Structure 1
Amino acid sequence: MSEDALTDSRPEPTTLVELCRYRASREPDRRMFVFLENGLDESDSLSLAQLDARARAIAARLSRHAPPGARAVLSFPPGLDFVSAFFGCLYAGLIAVPAPPVLRVGVDDRYPRFRAIVDSCRPDLLLSNGSRLSRVEALLKDMSTSHRPTCVATDEIGEADADGWNAPRIGPDTVAYLQYTSGTTGPPRGVVLTHGNVLHNLSLILANGSRATDDLARQPPVVSWLPVFHDMGLISGVLQPIYVGYDAVLMPPTAFTQQPANWLRAISDRGAGISSAPGFGYELCLRRVSEQQLRYVDLSGWRIAVVGDEPVRAEMIDQFSAMLAPFGFRREAFFPSYGIAESTVMLSGGPVEPEPVVRRFDAVALAKGKVQPAAPQDEARRLVGLGQLHPSMTIAVVDPATGEPCAPDETGEILASGPSIGTAYWNAPEETASTFNAAVRGHEGRRFLRTGSLGFLDGGQLFVTCRVADLIVVEGMQHYPYDIEATAAGSHAAIRDGCCCVFTVEDGDRLRLVVLAEINSRFRLAAGNAPDTPSGARATVKADEVEEAVREAVFAGHGLRADDVLLLKAGSLPFTTSGKLQRAQCRSRYRARVFETV
């Protein structure tokens, strides 16, 4: 909460509805949300009084269609209609289910995620705005489910309906919303989050970032381009601003991906103090933001640059800090963190202001699952610490196969326990039992979440090395796919940076190492003797030359033989809507021979 909320006699809110209503009663005219349609120019805004009135009106209307506890899928185009509809669901005691906006089947890569969410939660209501509702409703006709939700255009609900609102009977244990996972390792799963889970995580985030300023009541705004249907975007762009009391400047994700400089310009123009992104957001700036675009940018006020990834690349921190230092960005602003939807969002992070923690570990020892500081002469891996743990959270590192606690100098699967952890996966009892109900020797009576990530604790910091499912083990040595992918991408100029995928498949009694690599559209591949490249045309290279470069680099850098190298056209690899590579899908498509080589 802001400083005034923290010092008054009023108890902490027990639900998100209490929180929003309290904010609206204290600062009704405050324009807390602003939307930049093109990433630069303000096109809409929402005061706290307007948000409260809209939420009450929407809740009153929705209550006519569904009882408390029913599910409502929210599929909105970027804008502030989502914010009002989300709180409208909470005000009605409904379970909100954020989902991506979808236009058409077949041509919209978000449709599979939308369909998976609807199939999973079987909603009673489907919410969107009037301009999109008919399109979203039409998608249901292509789905096999016999359960048809009632469709409601929330922007067509008049505020006069607010007078008919009755406060729902909800508490901290009431389910607030289902946060569907990004789908990097399998189909999206709906994490059941209560009001108590979310409020605890909001307090945890504030505690981990509390050194940012001594006056939270005058905290500069947050700027966010993150999709609000993902955990990071919903928390950082919608809920945390209301919890802490700072303003939020939102923009469409495409305003960033099409022109990454828009993000940096908005931070500069709005004097933002906080902005968050997964690692790929910072990487995209490195690749596509020019010095000319930064000419009038001042990033000196950017105090917390949250980066959430597993792992965070030390090289990215180095390069981003160096590129933007002339424009006021400070390396100390980087706030590496680790979070997953199953824990609302954040598990670890911070502290604020010291430089990110980057430590050198013995690479050979890590390949054997051991944690050992690297001597100056040793081959080393630079790993970024993903923050400290809040006292209310407990972390255990265990052998992923046996569940036995690891020694302090061993890597293992990270298990977490605490009030931020969701209660279950929606309508998935088997997955819930295996993921949310782990037991750890020495922590009897405590329920642990299996995060699916490998890592270790060192000097108060959490280090994450790899997903359990992605780890490549050859002859007893552990290899991280991210490292091999970076090596493959750097092996030849024709390969797109950040667009490689490495995994293994079983072939009889051995594993085959597969490398998928997208080819930069500036290059054209040719078989045999490549002809001379005409003036002004795309550069022509031999396919064999690129494949051999990948194999040589992977062997030289990691001692591994790449059994199969597939060169793909740009855009072939599947990524989540939050920019994460979907390795499970890549492996599945490879086995099904779906990929077409260039």
Structure 2
Amino acid sequence: MCARCVPQAVSGPSRSGGGPAPSVYRLPGPALRRRAVRHPEGRPYEPYDCDFAGLDRRARAVAARLGRLLPPGSRVLLAYQPGADLAGAFYGCLYAGMAAVPLVGGGPDGAGTVAEAVERCRPAAVLTGADAWTALAVDRSRTQVVEADGSRVGGDPVDRLAQEWRPVGVLRTAPGYERYVADGLGGGRMEPALRHGDLADAVGELAVAAGRGTTEDSLGWIASVHGLEDAVWRMLLLAPGGVGSA
């Protein structure tokens, strides 16, 4: 996500003010659902034409489609440019109880990086935008490729799929995010998975820091300590209060 995705004024609970510790912050998926119900027209990311209700609808559609194809716990590679489509796919994986592996922008070598990432992380499926589906360098006889954007997921309308979605029980200990690093060392590497609870704890801390006026660079440093890449913490830190706010 671009730099403008960082909320300019984030209100979050403070430990010194008696607010909850990061360990009790809501998991990211349920947090977005709550925000979509309470503030449907609020904007999670300022640069993109998407409100909380729209992001939740995209995520439910992705989760419904993934639920038809894969069991919970499956690894899903996300090949997108920064934007609302990436955020919808990421939250869709969380809603479905699957582990998202974002590959934002295709890496330094474009299609070649996608092929290397698929070979290295062996995802059960790849999600990508409809405009990139045909050209994506993936052996479809081995790996399912599903196009997912704001209009359709796997060829089905987002609105219809979103209505079909049913929640799955997602534990704090279930893997939610895995980072692929395209560093050129033998085709890249996978870093240890972060659990849903890890994501909630990390973004809870980020929300508190942002509420205290912490600079964007410092927020990025906090996120990196927790193992979150730039695009991921920006998606999770929903304006104006992150996953920990109501």
Distance 1:47 1:211 in 2: 25
1: CA distance, partners of 2:35 / 2:110: 34
Q: What residue identity is the alignment partner of 1:153?
A: E
2:40 matches 1:28: yes
| Residue 179 (structure 1) aligns with | 179
TM-score scaled by structure 1? 0.32
Name which of 62, 70, 73 aligns with 2:74. 70
Amino acid across the alignment from 1:241 = L
The answer for the alignment partner of 1:231 in structure 2 is 229
Aligned residues: 211
Q: Identity of paired residues, percent?
A: 28
What one-letter code is carried by the residue in structure 2 that aligns with 1:234?
A: V
Contiguous gaps of at least 5 residues in structure 2: 1-9, 220-227
SS in 1 for 2:183: coil
Q: 1:75 deviation in Å?
A: 0.6
Write the deviation string for residues 205-231 of structure 1: whole angstroms up to 9, x where unpaired: 344455328xxxxxxxx9xxxxxxx70
Match status 1:170 vs 2:174: no
Q: Distance in 2 between matches of 1:124 and 1:182?
A: 19
Task: State the secondary structure of the residue aligned to 2:44.
Answer: strand
User: CA distance change for structure 1 residues 245 and 13 in 2, over 3 Å: closer, same or farther?
Assistant: closer
Could you tell me which residue of structure 2 aligns to residue 19 of structure 1? 31
SS in 2 for 1:191: coil
Change in CA separation of 1:243 and 1:110 when aligned onto 2, cut-off 3 Å: farther
Report the Cα distance in structure 1 between the residues aligned to 2:41 and 2:13, rounded to whole angstroms: 17
243 and 188 in structure 1: CA distance in 2 versus 1, 3 angstrom threshold: farther
Contact 2:12 2:208 in 1 (8 A): no
Cα pair 2:61 2:92 within 8 Å, conserved:
yes
Q: Shift in Å at residue 73 of structure 1?
A: 0.9
- Which residue identity lines up with residue 75 of structure 1 in the other structure? A
Task: Give the superposition deviation at 1:239.
Answer: 0.7
How does 1:437-476 map onto structure 2 within 5 Å?
none
- SS of residue matched to 2:68: coil
Distance 2:189 2:111 in 1: 12
Matched, 1:99 2:97: no
* Deviation at residue 167 of structure 1 after TM alignment: 0.7
CA distance in 2, matches of 1:78, 1:210: 24
Partners in 1 of 2:165 and 2:13 — Cα distance?
28
Tell me how far 1:7 sits from its aligned partner. 8.6
Does residue 127 (structure 1) correspond to residue 127 (structure 2)? The answer is yes
3-state DSSP of counterpart to 1:203: helix
Look up the match of 2:6. Answer: none
CA distance in 2, matches of 1:63, 1:117: 23
The residue that corresponds to 1:369 in the other structure is none
Q: What letter corresponds to residue 177 of structure 1 in structure 2?
A: Y
Question: CA–CA distance in 2 between the matches of 1:149 and 1:185?
Answer: 23
Other-structure match for 1:539? none
Structure 1 residue 3 displacement after superposition = 4.5
Q: Secondary structure at the match of 2:49?
A: strand
Structure 1 contact 125–152 (Cα < 8 Å) conserved: yes
The answer to whether structure 1 residue 82 and structure 2 residue 86 are counterparts is yes
Greater gyration radius: 1
3-state SS in 2 of match to 1:33? coil
Which runs of at least 4 in structure 1 moved beyond 6 Å after TM superposition?
A: 4-9
Q: What residue in structure 2 maps to residue 241 of structure 1?
A: 238
The structural deviation recorded for 1:164 is 1.2
| Distance in 2 separating the partners of 1:241 and 1:16 | 10
Bigger helix fraction: 2
Give distance in 2, aligned partners of 1:73 and 1:177.
10
CA distance in 1 between partners of 2:115 and 2:198 (Å): 26
Distance in 1, matches of 2:26 and 2:141, equals 33
Superposed CA offset, 1:99-143 (max 9, x none): 14449xxxx72344323321122111111111111111xx124xx
Q: Deviations over 1:159-179 (max 9, x none)?
A: 121121111111110100111
Secondary structure at the aligned position of 1:32 is classed as coil
TM-score where L is the length of structure 2:
0.73
More strand by share: 1
Letter in 2 for 1:117: A
Consecutive unaligned residues in structure 1, runs of 5 or more: 36-43, 214-221, 223-229, 247-598
Partner residue, 2:145:
151
Please tell me whether the aligned partners of residues 95 and 177 of structure 1 are also in contact (alpha carbons under 8 angstroms). yes
The correspondence for 1:140, drawn from 138, 141, 146, is 138
Distance 1:184 1:152, change over 3 A: closer
Q: Note if contact 1:75-1:126 (Cα within 8 Å) is conserved in structure 2.
A: yes
Q: Give the aligned residue type for 1:140.
A: V
Asked whether the 8 Å contact 1:14–1:195 carries over to 2, the reply is no
Equivalent position amino acid for 2:109 in 1: D
State the 1:32 CA deviation.
2.0
Q: CA deviation at 1:190?
A: 3.3
Distance 2:94 2:240 in 1: 15
For residues 368-415 of structure 1, what are the alpha-carbon distances to aligned partners after superposition, in whole Å with 9 as ceiling and x for unaligned? xxxxxxxxxxxxxxxxxxxxxxxxxxxxxxxxxxxxxxxxxxxxxxxx
Q: Secondary structure at the match of 2:89?
A: helix
- Shift in CA distance, 125/13, structure 1 to aligned 2, threshold 3 Å: same
